[in-house]
Chains A and B, each alone.
Chain A
């Protein structure tokens, strides 16, 4: 039963990811007084891309052909690590959060290679930028996660969530810092506004779009879908780890229904926060990203320090 659930849950996750991305776009358009595309527009886009002919540059090597499949399958694997609707997923218990970071790094590695493979200027530029940002974002991510790991004494996400549900009245000041740090990293890593603008293909500013400029057809569809899954993984991670209430601890149907509703509500709230910040903020200069992510790293460190100073021994 748990294994069946474990197969169904990532499938639901993958299926819901485009809806989540479309929902953000829909809400953002409404917030900015524009006429929004329907939230399920990304499904139509993906379907269109899958139908279209796939054109590849003559110089492309095997890396270019295989990268989309690797990126997509790694994104799917990463989705199985994060507890989505119910907490006791066997795959989530096998792999911990460091594996999750490793999955992200693997996908990023192949994406950067594929960006450089064709040899156009934009691809190389995008890859170089992506790796620069990643090298700052990864330590910050790990630091935020370590703060969690130290207070729950595990790096396993399921175990950490269960620990929280078992100790509901512990206030963790360190979590506030860890959550903020993770939020900053999530924005940077999923290419949202102060770091990258997902809506444009402007030459000088794009990061993620620059790497996938040469892709078309089903390859592009896979990469886009993987990016949507990654965005949703960050959302679910923030929602479920820092505010685990409502997640199903059983495999009962009513519990699962509650779990689905709970995660939808949490993602909706997170969505509004994201849309508000994207509407208010402007994209920052590339060279300020290091400072921004340095701040995220620092918040993670501060969370760890606060945990050691204030929480240990009380």
Chain B
């Protein structure tokens, strides 16, 4: 799966959590721009994990602040 395809899939997974319909770019932050609280983060991470059959541990989540970093992390975890 290419980075572009991964990005498109994650973008579609964000939609139900993107309550305000913010335009998402690589620089969009989850806590700031998308206003994800801890419960949203848990559900969103679970959706990504299930889609890609991966684990994103809390330790890894702590390093991910924006959309671009998440795409990169998923690409790396899928390698």
User: Do A and B originate from a single complex?
Assistant: no
